[in-house]
């Protein structure tokens, strides 16, 4: 394909126009032009009047086409930032979201020696918790082999492989498979979207359904996670679970029923929506 000559500024403007339906066309176009050219943001600005090589324009066009089809930027670049660190991601794993960082914030000041991450996905929660608690060891479980491969890559790159292990299992199997082990900190971001819910193309068309939906009411995984926590949480331990924005009362009730004698409370995110259930020993707050 032959492309007309363009400067970097021209190419960026064209990308913005092509991605006008994206929530972030300027950012997306800049990220994709950086990926295609190898220039970082500062270099794109410094060289904005330089002519773009044809091979770069060809790569850029292909990337714009993928983004216009709804493919998430994180899958196109193969990375997503979480807690100021880069994590590898891919189509077989849920893309880490900023709201999930609430779980790390809640656990920052705890004394933790053992960590369990239920539904580890990319490993972002387990790995971040291990890096925040350098004395701790941890286990991440997931039913997806693809997700575990990506988590393995991340734990190697971020250098926590010597303090962690990954195991393939379902939530429902963890009480038996991990029998005899207790954890100071349990983290979980289970699927919590009801089946059939209306989702953006960038989500339903690309991210794994098994990491998104959980039964007709969106609560099946919460019931299994609550049972796992009841069996595996140390008496003085804490658990933090991400929930859907409309699940404040229903999800909290599930964890309260399963974890009698614990302090169970729902916390709001920055937008004021229910986002996390915290399970702590009575009197810990």
Hey, where are the domains in the chain?
Answer: 8-69, 80-281
pLDDT in tens, 170-211: 999 999 999 999 999 999 999 999 998 998 888 999 999 999
- Asked whether residue 283 is marked as a ligand-binding residue, the answer is no
Task: Identify the bridge partners of residue 267 per DSSP, sorted by sequence position.
Answer: 276
C-alpha 266/C-alpha 251 separation (Å) is 9
Across 46-136, where does the E strand assignment appear? 79-82, 85-88, 114-118
**61-79 pLDDT, tens digit each:** 999 999 999 999 999 999 9
Share of the chain above pLDDT 70, in %: 98
Task: Return the pLDDT at 113.
Answer: 98
* 25 carries a ligand binding annotation: no
- pTM of the predicted model over 0.85: yes
121 marked ligand binding residue? yes
Topology classification of domain 80-281: Rossmann fold (3.40.50)
pLDDT at 201: 87
Whole-Å CA distances, 130 to 99, 111, 255: 19, 12, 25
Q: How far apart are the first and last CA of the chain?
A: 64
CB–CB of 128/155 below 8 Å?
Answer: no
In what order do the strands lie in the sheet containing 164-168?
Answer: 164-168, 137-142, 114-118, 183-188, 233-242, 274-281, 262-268
Annotated binding-site residue? 92: no
Pairing of β 79-82 and β 85-88: antiparallel
Tell me whether residue 174 is annotated as binding. no
The whole-angstrom separation of Cα 285 and Cα 280 is 8
Residue 174 and residue 52: Cα distance in Å, rounded? 53
- Confirm whether residue 122 is marked as ligand binding: yes
User: Is the pLDDT confidence value at 2 over 60?
Assistant: no
Scanning the structure block, which residue is given the tokens 């089946």?
A: 195
CB 189 within 8 A of CB 242: yes
**120 marked as part of a ligand binding site:** yes
Q: Of the CATH numbers 1.10.10.10, 3.40.228.10, 1.10.8.10, 1.10.3720.10, which one belongs to the domain with range 8-69?
A: 1.10.8.10
How high is the pLDDT of residue 1?
Answer: 53
Mean pLDDT of all residues in 128-145 = 98
């Amino acid at each position: 394909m032959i492309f007309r000559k363009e400067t970097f500024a021209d190419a960026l403007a064209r990308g913005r126009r092509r991605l006008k339906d994206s929530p972030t066309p300027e950012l997306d176009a800049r990220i994709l032009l950086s990926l295609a050219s190898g220039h970082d943001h500062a270099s794109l600005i410094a060289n904005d009047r330089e002519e773009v090589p044809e091979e770069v324009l060809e790569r850029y066009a292909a990337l714009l086409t993928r983004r216009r089809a709804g493919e998430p930027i994180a899958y196109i670049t193969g990375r997503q930032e979480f807690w100021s660190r880069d994590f590898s991601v891919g189509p077989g794993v849920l893309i880490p979201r900023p709201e999930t960082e609430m779980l790390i914030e809640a656990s920052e000041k705890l004394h933790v020696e053992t960590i369990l991450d239920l539904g580890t996905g990319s490993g972002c929660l387990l790995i971040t918790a291990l890096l925040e608690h350098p004395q701790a060891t941890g286990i991440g479980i997931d039913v997806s082999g693809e997700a575990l491969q990506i988590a393995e890559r991340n734990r190697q790159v971020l250098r926590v492989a010597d303090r962690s292990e990954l195991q393939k299992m379902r939530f429902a199997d963890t009480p038996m498979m991990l029998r005899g082990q207790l954890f100071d900190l349990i983290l979980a971001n289970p699927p919590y979207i009801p089946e059939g819910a209306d989702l953006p193309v960038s989500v339903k068309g690309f991210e794994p359904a098994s990491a998104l939906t959980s039964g007709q009411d969106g609560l099946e995984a919460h019931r299994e996670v609550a049972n796992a926590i009841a069996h595996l949480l140390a008496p003085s331990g804490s658990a933090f679970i991400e929930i859907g924005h409309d699940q404040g009362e229903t999800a909290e009730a599930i964890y309260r029923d399963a974890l009698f004698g614990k302090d169970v409370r729902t916390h709001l995110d920055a937008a004021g929506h229910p986002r996390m259930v915290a399970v702590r020993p009575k009197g810990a707050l």
